[in-house]
A and B are shown apart, each in its own frame.
Chain A
C-alpha cells in the first residue's frame, strides 16, 4: 500500500496526462477532416524524401506526400478502428459475460468454452482469415478486431460479475426481492465498470496496434486511404535512406497507446468513491 502511494502521482496525474494525449489524438482526427497542411494523397515526386523544413514540418515520404498531413489523416483511421472495434467488443462481450455469470451451470460453461475457442486464434490470424474471406479494407479490419475483443471482454465481465455476485450486498439485493436484471444494472455494472474501463482503454490501444499490423500487411487501409500502419509499411522500403519516416508514425502510435492507458488508469481511480474522499 505504501509503496504504490509513493510511486503513484497524487491528484490524478495519470488522468490529466492521459486525457491530454487522447484529446490531442481526437483533435488531430477531427482537424484532419477539415484541414491538413497538404492533401495527404498529393503526390509530388520532385520533392520526395525531403527532410523536415518550414514547408513540410515532418518532411515528405518516398512519393513526395507530406508526412504531417498523413499523420493527421491516419489518426482518423486509428480512432475509428479503436472506437468501433472496442464498441463491438463491449456491446457483445458485456452481454455474453453477464448472461454467463447469472446463468451459471451449463450456460456459463458453454459460453466460456466458446470464448476460449475464439481466444485460441491469434488476433492477427483471425483478422487475416476474415479479411481474406471478405476482402481487405478498413471496415473488415475493424470487424475482425472487434470480434477478437468480444471474448476478452466477455471473460472479464463474467469474472468480475461473479465477484460482485458473491458479495453480500448482492445477496442482500436478492433478499430484498430484486430480480436479476435489476441486480445487473444497479449493482453489477457499476462495480465492474472500473475494470471494464481499464480493459477498454487497453483494447483500444491494442486495436490501434492491430490495425497498424494489418495495414502493414496490406490487409487494412488500402490506397489511397492512409493509416499509421500503412505508413510504417511504406517506410520499410526506404528505411536506410530516411529512418525518420518510420519514426513519425511509430511515435504517433506510441503516444496514443500511452495516452489511452494513462486515461484508463486515471478514470478508474477517478470513479472510485473511496478514493474520491481522499483526494
Chain B
C-alpha cells in the first residue's frame, strides 16, 4: 500500500446562487462548501458524517467531478481532475464510481439490468460486446445476484436488490474508489445489514476503497477507518472513527453521538431515560440540554422544561443549511460550550494534543 493518497481534496469552496423570490429580492448566495480538505488512502475507507446543509452531497458530486468547485482541487491518484481536458478526464472515471441513495431512482426504469450495469463500460469504450456481457455476469455474481437477472427490469427487484445492481454497476470498471452517498439509508434494517456486509466483503476482496457519506454514525463506523464530521460546509472534526465517536472532541460531534438513539443492551439493564450516567449516553441532546449561557455543566440529567434546549433555533440565521458567512465559529449558535472568542474568531482545523485527531474548535472537549 503506497503512501500517496488515492483521493486528495484541497480547500474546496462552492457557493450556490439561488434567485431571490420577488422582483426586488437580492440573489441569495448559499455557500455549500467553505474550504474542505482531506485525503483518502488506498485500503482505508473514509467516512463523511453530516446532517442536511452540511454540504456532504455537494462534496460527493465534486469529488467525482460531476460539478465544478469555485476554487480548490481534487486529485485522484495524483492527477488534478479539474485541470484535465475533457478528453483525459473521461477515462479517469473508470477509477472512480458512485453509488446513490435512492435504489428506486438510480436505475433507469426502462432499461434492462444488463444495459444498466454495463453503462460505464459503454461510456468509456471499454471491451467489446462479448466481453461486456461476461463482465456484467461477473459483476452481478460478485454482489450476490444471478447472471439471469441481467435480462430483467429494475422494477422486478426489491430495494435491497436494486442497490446491489447499483453496486454491480459501480464495480464493473474495477474502480479503486467508490463514493457511496447514503447507500443504505433507504433500506430496511435487515437489508441494510446485507448491503453493509457486501460492502465490507468488496473492500477486502475487490480492493475497493469507499468514501462513505452518511448521516448514520453506526453505518459509517462499521465501514470507515477514518471519518470527517461536517457542519455547514466545513469539517469540524476528523480522526479515527471509533475513537472519535467514543470520545468526541468537537461539541457538534458530541451532539451527534448523543442524539443517535442507541440500543445498548447494557443501557437497558440499568434502566434508561432517567439515568444520570452521561457516559452511557442516556441523553437525547445531552449537550444541547445544558444551558446556553453557562459553560460546560455537570453530566446532564434529562430535563424537559427548559424552553431553549428543546426548541428550534432561529438566532440570526436559518438552521436550514449552508455555511455560515459571519465571522465566528459556524456552530456558535447551537454550541452549549460557546464563549465570547467563539463568536469573534472562526477556529481552524488543527491537531490538538497527540494523535491523528484534528478539531476545529477553540475549546475542544477532552
Direct contact of A and B (CB under 8 A): yes
Q: Does B3 contact A (CB under 8 A)?
A: no
Question: Which residues 152-202 of A have a CB within 8 angstroms of B?
Answer: 167-169, 171-179, 182, 186-187, 190-191
When chains A and B are docked, how far (Å) is the Cα of A230 from the Cα of B120?
57
- What is the minimal beta-carbon distance from A177 to any residue of chain B, in angstroms? 4
Cβ contacts under 8 Å, A167 to chain B: 105
Q: Does B97 contact A (CB under 8 A)?
A: yes
Contact (Cβ within 8 A) A172 B155: no
B121 nearest CB neighbor, chain A only: A176
Q: Does B98 contact A (CB under 8 A)?
A: yes
Stretch binding the partner chain, chosen from B106-114, B202-210, B347-355: B106-114
Contact (Cβ within 8 A) A169 B124: no
A275 nearest CB neighbor, chain B only: B155
**Assuming A171-B100, A273-B155, A277-B156, is B119 touching A176 (CB within 8 A)?**
yes
| Neighbour of A172 across the interface among B91, B153, B169, CB < 8 A | B169
Contact (Cβ within 8 A) A177 B123: yes
Contact (Cβ within 8 A) A182 B100: no
Question: Which residues 72-129 of B have a CB within 8 angstroms of A?
Answer: 90-91, 93-94, 97-98, 100-102, 105-111, 116, 119-120, 122-124
- What is the minimal beta-carbon distance from B163 to any residue of chain A, in angstroms? 12
What is the size, in residues, of chain B's interface with A at 8 Å between Cβ atoms? Answer: 30
- What is the minimal beta-carbon distance from A17 to any residue of chain B, in angstroms? 26
| Neighbour of A273 across the interface among B101, B109, B123, CB < 8 A | B109
Q: Does B263 contact A (CB under 8 A)?
A: no
**Assuming A171-B66, A187-B108, is B153 touching A182 (CB within 8 A)?**
no
Q: Does A274 contact B (CB under 8 A)?
A: yes
| Neighbour of B97 across the interface among A169, A176, A190, CB < 8 A | A176
Question: Which residues 258-279 of A have a CB within 8 angstroms of B?
Answer: 273-274, 277
**Assuming A168-B102, A277-B155, is B108 touching A177 (CB within 8 A)?**
no
Cβ contacts under 8 Å, A169 to chain B: 105-108, 116
- What is the minimal beta-carbon distance from A175 to any residue of chain B, in angstroms? 5
| Neighbour of B108 across the interface among A191, A274, A277, CB < 8 A | A191
- What is the minimal beta-carbon distance from B14 to any residue of chain A, in angstroms? 16
**Assuming A168-B105, A169-B107, A171-B100, is B155 touching A178 (CB within 8 A)?**
no
Q: Does B64 contact A (CB under 8 A)?
A: yes
A176 nearest CB neighbor, chain B only: B120
| Neighbour of A178 across the interface among B97, B100, B119, B169, CB < 8 A | B119
Contact (Cβ within 8 A) A176 B106: no
Contact (Cβ within 8 A) B110 A172: no
Contact (Cβ within 8 A) A273 B153: yes
- What is the minimal beta-carbon distance from B104 to any residue of chain A, in angstroms? 9
Cβ contacts under 8 Å, A187 to chain B: 108, 111
Top 4 A-B residue pairs of the complex, sorted by shortest distance between their CB atoms: A177-B123, A176-B120, A168-B106, A177-B93
Interface residues of B (CB under 8 A from A): 61, 64, 66, 90-91, 93-94, 97-98, 100-102, 105-111, 116, 119-120, 122-124, 153, 155-156, 166, 169
28 contacts between A and B (CB under 8 A): A167-B105, A168-B100, A168-B102, A169-B107, A169-B116, A171-B100, A171-B106, A172-B100, A172-B106, A172-B107, A172-B119, A172-B169, A175-B64, A176-B93, A177-B94, A177-B124, A178-B119, A182-B122, A182-B123, A186-B111, A187-B108, A190-B108, A190-B110, A190-B111, A191-B110, A273-B109, A273-B153, A273-B155
